[in-house]
Amino acid sequence: MSVQGFTLNEHGTSQVLCWGDVTVPAPGPGEVRVQHRAVGVNFIDIYFRQGLYPMDLPGRLGLEAAGVVEAVGEGVTEVKIGQRVSYCMSPLGAYAEAHVVPARCLVPLPDAVSFEQAAAITLKGLTAAFLLQSLRPMQKGEDILVFAAAGGVGQILCQWGNHLGLRVIGVTSSELKQQQALAAGCTDVVLAKDDIAQQVRQLTQGKGVEVVYDSVGADTFEQSLDCVARRGWLVSYGNASGPAPAIAPLTLLQKGSIVLTRPSLADFVADRDELLELSRTLFTAVEQGVVKVQIGQTYPLREAAAAQDALQARKTTGSTVLTLEE
């Protein structure tokens, strides 16, 4: 069948996103066709569009959507037709009215979570969950530093970190975002234009933080190294300003026997049981109000280019969701 969606024929600015008919085949063995009700916009979509992350061309874009199971292929036992689901680690193609994905990628949605909320939080919330709980389980009383603290993943990290009893120091680029980061649970928020390491040392009586969550990459990596406490961790998990530079292992010794890691959510939800467990943890946190879904802006699906431009220009806060007509 044919639906409306985006095709990418070349890498470049958001202008390379081509709106039109895309073919959505009948689901093969182990696959499911999902009719989308809302689509998530993520910084990762920009990396694929730009060519920083590899993809085949011509190709499709988008990793995250929420909707209803419309058709199932042979041997699918994970979900049923009509079920409400979301996904975030599928083959590219979520920027469309429907998509065929492996059934093992799907997460069942609780009734209390709307499609828009699910599209806002599945990828970003699972990321916050694996960072705080799977990668290096955080302990009450520890200090963390969260870059882009008013952003999509950032606000979830701050809310959840605060709930876990962590002291959350945020970094934002503006005073408006600073207020949002404080509302999301930061105890202190440093402005990106300031000397971040110096302020973090001051706020922690010289110690530094146990974990730095750096999603900015190139622009902040050096400062992040200087914010980590002895035997702490630098978690470099994104490239909003470009990829972080190469580093000699000896530098980690000189900074206080610190651990550097560059993790991907994909490696923490590759196993279906792990995906289901992490998503249950996330949705429970949403239902209990630990994580309040912050949809900062919505756009109709066909305006995905404008949504990406706003995200790339640092004009967004919270999550960005693409909506579909009923």
β-pair type (167-172, 2-8): unpaired
x/- mask, ligand NDP, residues 35-64, rule CB under 6 A, reads: -------xxx--------------------
Residue 35 or 312 having the CB closest to ligand NDP: 312
CB burial readout 119-141, b (16+ within 10 A) else e: bbbbbbbbbbbbbbbbbbebeee
Letters for 297-326 (x = contact with ligand NDP by CB under 6 A, - = none) are --------------xx-x-x----------
Binding of ligand NDP at residue 219 (CB under 6 A)? yes
Q: Least distance from C-beta 134 to ligand NDP, angstroms?
A: 11
Q: Identify the CA nearest to 88 among candidates 171, 180, 134, 152.
A: 152
3-state secondary structure of 259: strand
Residue 58, preceding bond cis, omega within 30 degrees? yes
Size of the site for ligand NDP (CB under 6 A): 31
Distances, alpha carbon 38 to alpha carbons 30, 67, 76, 326, in Å: 23, 7, 23, 10
Q: Which is nearer to ligand NDP, 65 or 192 (CB)?
A: 192
Candidates 49-57, 70-78, 120-128, 248-256; binding stretch for ligand NDP (CB under 6 A): 120-128
The two beta strands, 65-72 and 84-87, are antiparallel
User: What residues between 144 and 183 interact with ligand NDP by CB under 6 A?
Assistant: 148, 150-154, 172-173, 177
Of residues 93 and 125, the one with the C-beta less far from ligand NDP: 125
- Name 104's Cβ contacts closer than 8 Å, sequence gap at least 6: 30, 78, 272, 275
What is the spatial distance between Cα 10 and Cα 17, in angstroms, rounded to a whole number?
9
Q: Which is nearer to ligand NDP, 233 or 237 (CB)?
A: 237
Residue from 192, 212, 225, 229 in contact with ligand NDP (CB under 6 A): 192
User: Cα torsion for 267, 318, 215, 309, to the nearest 10°?
Assistant: 100
Q: Does 215 bind ligand NDP (CB under 6 A)?
A: yes
Minimal distance, residue 11 CB to ligand NDP, in Å: 17
Q: Would you say 139 or 261 has its CB closer to ligand NDP?
A: 261
Pick between residue 35 and residue 173 the one whose CB is nearest to ligand NDP. Answer: 173
Question: 159: how many CB neighbours lie within 10 A of its CB?
Answer: 23
**Which residues would be at the binding site for ligand NDP (CB under 6 A)?**
42-44, 123-124, 127, 148, 150-154, 172-173, 177, 192, 215-216, 219, 237-241, 263-265, 311-312, 314, 316
